[in-house]
Structure 1
Amino acid sequence: MIAIIDYGAGNLFSVKNAFDYIGKESKITKDKSDIQKAEALILPGVGAFPKAMQMLQETDLISTIKEEIQKKPLLGICLGMQMLFEEGYEFERTNGLGFIDGCIKYIQTDYKIPHMGYNELEFHEPSPLLNGIQSGDCVYFVHSYMAHTSSHNVAAYCDYGIKVPALVQKGNVFGAQFHPEKSGEVGLQILKNFASL
């Protein structure tokens, strides 16, 4: 079972529907025992970084998540991916979970913000989540902030006037700036790959 962590700021049901579609059992939950029993964890996110971190802290799940990622994979999606980093600068400086080194800042580009719509993945570092995917395949983005991190943490970029980290990873922790659950067959393949880790 994959635990989709419910802390009040996620795109929960579309993620669950995607796992249902690929035939992988998942559960939307805020229960520590569910998270401990799960094979893998999903941290979704929609909204603003400071509020989402506050809501996650209020669930008292952060210590449980930190313990569980020592032995099972976690995938952060969109804002959930951004929360994996050390800090964010949306409205104010806010501590993140610190699972991946780096920070989240506003996208500095001449292109329209938010970055919204399909964009191509440009592969950078090998990743098990990219099995069966090709560099140049498209996934769906909706965001105004991006990760600044060491390039060895980046499995794939997208080009939006600047190179935006699209898929990041460190150990058992993975993050998709895009929405795999809204990215058609490519996104479903990424979720299949995650579910098979």
Structure 2
Amino acid sequence: MASIKTTPSGTFQLSVKNKLWPRTFWATFDTFDEAQRYGQQLDGLLAQGIVPASLLEPRKGPSTSWSLKRCIAEYVRANALPVSETKLLGTIENQMLGLTSANMNFDWANSWIRSMKRELNLAPSTIRHRHGALARCLDWILRTHPEILAQNPLRLFKRGFATYSADDERQVLANGGTLKVDTERDRRLDPDEEMRVLAVIGKHPAHPSMNS
């Protein structure tokens, strides 16, 4: 059964106890909604007698836990991916050497997103690209090898997760980095471009001016 409590730092700590495994599962979330959603998903799986592989103690044998390197290799081998995405997954793999599916929980995912801001100081768009590439890989692992990964923690983030928070900003500036923000495109038509567009619209048969 899942329960949530607020920590002194203002985060939300989820604990889940169940007879299907001997230890209490703990995870920390930035918001109550994230903790509640994750807890409800776990409770739902456990009610069906399913224990996610990431919650179990690692055991010997390839069916228990895969390295991230193997997850990516199997995904790339089985799917026709753009070269750019394959290279991006290679970059991610090098960033997280030693990671296994047994450790892929929300704490890991949250730590990875935080490190891309505070340590690597990446732009939000770059963070989203890396998150998306790995999330698609883990989606495929989840569908084809549920014994390896029963849930994709990267899908638990809400929109805006790549935006730097006030705490991220303080940490980055303390480390000598710069605050990265999304760049918005605000391109306006030049006068001659506007005239050409209006001319084309005026010649279109469906334009109201042609029917008057």
| TM-score interval, normalised by the smaller of the two chains | under 0.3
Which structure shows the bigger proportion of residues in strand conformation? 1
TM-score (norm 1): 0.26
Higher RCO (Cα < 8 Å, 6 or more apart): 1
TM-score (norm 2): 0.25
Which structure shows the bigger proportion of residues in helix conformation? 2
